[in-house]
Amino acid sequence: MDAHAHDPRVWRPFRENRFLQAATAAYALVFAWSAIAPRYPRDWWLEMLLAFVFVAVLIATHRRFVFSNLSYALIAGFLALHTYGAHYPYAESVFGDWLKDAIGSPRNQYDRIVHFSFGALLVYPMHEIARRVLHLRGGWSYAVPWLCALALSGGYEILEGWTARIVSPDLGVAYLGTQGDEWDAQKDMSLANTGSLITLAWAALYRRRTGREPWTIGGE
């Protein structure tokens, strides 16, 4: 068992966790900015629907399961990237346009950044659940989160397509953000897969070298 498995410095409830309070306040500011006059209001609601569900689940389960600050930081980072992109939406984001000109890309690459970040930032919280809730050890504690990240990435692409068809066909192009690339979904899933593998490799290397999980960072 990890030495910090029950260390209150690692997993603290919201009322005692200044880091989580600050992260929540920072994300609230990003959310408020994104919600003010988004470029396509109906698309914004579609883009943010799953984010609303995700945050609601985190709030509802917080008393029963508290993530480490590392996982909360990664989750907040992903939500901030997604919420920023939803304002424009992704395919028309200002940062993506700047990057497009800076690297001479034929398309706005912001959606690629977010899909990579989905794997890179959210797979570690899944790893934390695998070890602390499912009590998986060794390779399984990395394989299961990796497979979950793949499944969620693919599931999102399917859900995204059907949502665009059923809920708002007229906003399909803006919502999907394919930018004329017929392989857009496959590339997005590949990037999420790459991001998750990089993070899990880092987590495994950190544990091998230190003998402890990365979630102990800052908790000592």
pLDDT in single tens digits along all 220 residues of the chain: 454 555 656 788 899 899 999 999 999 999 999 999 999 898 898 889 889 999 999 999 998 999 999 999 999 999 999 999 999 988 889 999 999 999 998 888 999 999 999 999 999 999 999 999 999 999 999 999 999 999 999 888 787 776 666 666 555 554 455 555 666 788 889 999 999 999 999 999 999 999 999 998 865 4
Domain assignment present for residue 120? The answer is: yes
Note the pLDDT of residue 171.
54
Note the pLDDT of residue 75.
98
Domain assignment present for residue 28? The answer is: no
* Residue 217 CA from chain centroid, whole number: 20
Domain assignment present for residue 86? The answer is: yes
Note the pLDDT of residue 63.
87
Q: How many domains does the chain have?
A: 1
C-alpha closest to that of 26 among 73, 63, 65:
73
C-alpha closest to that of 85 among 97, 102, 73, 72:
97
Domain assignment present for residue 61? The answer is: yes
Domain assignment present for residue 45? The answer is: yes
Query: Can the peptide bond before residue 8 be classed as cis, meaning omega within 30 degrees of 0?
Result: no
For residues 47 and 190, give the distance between their C-alpha atoms in angstroms, rounded to a whole number.
21
Residue 185's domain spans which residues?
Answer: 33-216
Give the pTM.
0.88
Domain assignment present for residue 70? The answer is: yes
H or E stretch at 113: helix 110-132
Domain assignment present for residue 12? The answer is: no
Note the pLDDT of residue 84.
97
Domain assignment present for residue 2? The answer is: no
**Secondary structure (DSSP) of 140-151:** HHHHHHHHHHHH
